[in-house]
């Protein structure tokens, strides 16, 4: 029987920890009895599941539901704040039942900084209890960000998508993907949407943005990343990045380093 972390038996809805990780550190497939809200205080985190991949930029977070199997790869030095939430509390707060990358408000960021200092068995009804309650409710309010690349279960589609992820580019069009999957264009587009819930063009843009975030987090120039991924210009890439993350990439990563 696997070892149970001490916080799993703590009779509180939420417990927050902070840990530093080295670049390239990998956690193979594992699960937690509690849900995990993993906040990238510094660095970029890539999360893998059987259903797809997620990328967590600095100052954003991923929600991993209780018992969901996942692995995590650190892209650069990472400081991760983890909020482990009891399943009954996750249900009460209506947290997602699938992995999702979530925005993190300035208030939530400050609450996480303070919650790290709160003991696992904080006193009920005191300041720590109110702080943790507000923290959990603020997590539940955070909007979902389109920073995932869902993987279809259908074998031909899955193989085509895995090939794309090995060398993502906006220049890989529907016809190329349909040919890779051994399908007609019409069959490919229909089955792709049925399997992933989004169109191939939406999926392609999200997959390219995930790749861009990892590369930018490793210090690569914006222009090189934009050109390599097939954007028409660095400004076109910056517009997509800003629409999702609220700031152009050069300013976003500079601000992340200063925090």
Whole-prediction pTM value?
Answer: 0.88
Let me know how many helices (H) and strands (E) the chain has, helices first: 10, 9
Cα 69–Cα 75–Cα 79 angle in degrees, nearest 5: 85
Q: What percent of the chain has pLDDT over 90?
A: 83
CB atoms within 10 A of CB 185: 13
Residues 237-256 pLDDT 10s: 999 999 998 899 988 887 66
Q: Provide mean pLDDT across the span 47-62.
A: 93
Residues 55-92 pLDDT 10s: 999 999 999 999 999 999 999 899 999 999 999 999 99
The rounded mean pLDDT for the chain is: 92
Q: Provide mean pLDDT across the span 24-47.
A: 94
Instruction: Report the C-alpha gap between 230 and 225 in whole angstroms.
Output: 9
Residues 95-150 pLDDT 10s: 999 999 999 999 999 999 999 999 988 998 899 999 999 999 999 999 999 899 99
pLDDT attached to residue 2: 39
pLDDT attached to residue 7: 72
Could you tell me which of 88, 83, 48, 40 has the C-alpha nearest to residue 68? Answer: 48
Instruction: Report the C-alpha gap between 27 and 73 in whole angstroms.
Output: 6
- Beta-bridged to residue 101, according to DSSP, are 62, 145
Q: How far is CA 58 from CA 38, 70, 111, 139, in A?
A: 11, 20, 16, 16
Helix H or strand E segment including 165: helix 155-166
Could you give all domains of the chain from N- to C-terminal order, each with its CATH number? Answer: 6-145 (2.60.120.810), 149-258 (1.10.10.60)
Using pLDDT thresholds of 50, 70 and 90, give the confidence band for residue 3: very low
Instruction: Report the C-alpha gap between 96 and 112 in whole angstroms.
Output: 20
Give 63-80 as a DSSP string.
Answer: EE-TT--EEEEEEEEEEE
Q: Provide mean pLDDT across the span 210-222.
A: 92
């Amino acid at each position: 029987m696997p070892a149970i972390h001490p916080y799993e038996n703590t009779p509180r809805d939420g417990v927050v920890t902070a840990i530093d990780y080295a670049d390239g550190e990998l956690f193979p497939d594992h699960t937690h009895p509690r849900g995990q809200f993993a906040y990238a205080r510094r660095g970029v985190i890539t999360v893998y599941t059987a259903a797809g991949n997620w990328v967590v930029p600095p100052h954003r977070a991923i929600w991993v539901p209780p018992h969901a199997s996942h692995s995590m790869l650190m892209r650069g030095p990472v400081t991760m704040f983890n909020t482990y939430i009891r399943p009954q509390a996750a249900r009460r707060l209506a947290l997602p039942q699938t992995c999702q990358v979530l925005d993190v408000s300035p208030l939530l960021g400050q609450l996480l900084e303070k919650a790290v200092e709160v003991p696992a068995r904080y006193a009920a009804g005191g300041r720590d209890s109110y702080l943790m309650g507000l923290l959990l409710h603020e997590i539940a309010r955070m909007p979902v960000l389109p920073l995932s690349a869902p993987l279809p279960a259908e074998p031909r589609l899955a193989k085509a998508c895995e090939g794309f992820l090995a060398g993502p580019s906006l220049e890989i069009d529907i016809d190329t993907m349909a040919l890779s999957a051994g399908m007609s264009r019409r069959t490919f587009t229909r089955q792709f949407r049925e399997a992933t819930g989004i169109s191939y063009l939406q999926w392609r843009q999200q997959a390219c943005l995930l790749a861009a975030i990892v590369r930018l987090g490793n210090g690569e120039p914006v222009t090189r990343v934009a050109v390599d991924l097939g954007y028409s210009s660095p400004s076109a890439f910056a517009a997509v990045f800003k629409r999702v993350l609220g700031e152009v990439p050069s300013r976003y990563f500079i601000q992340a380093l200063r925090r």
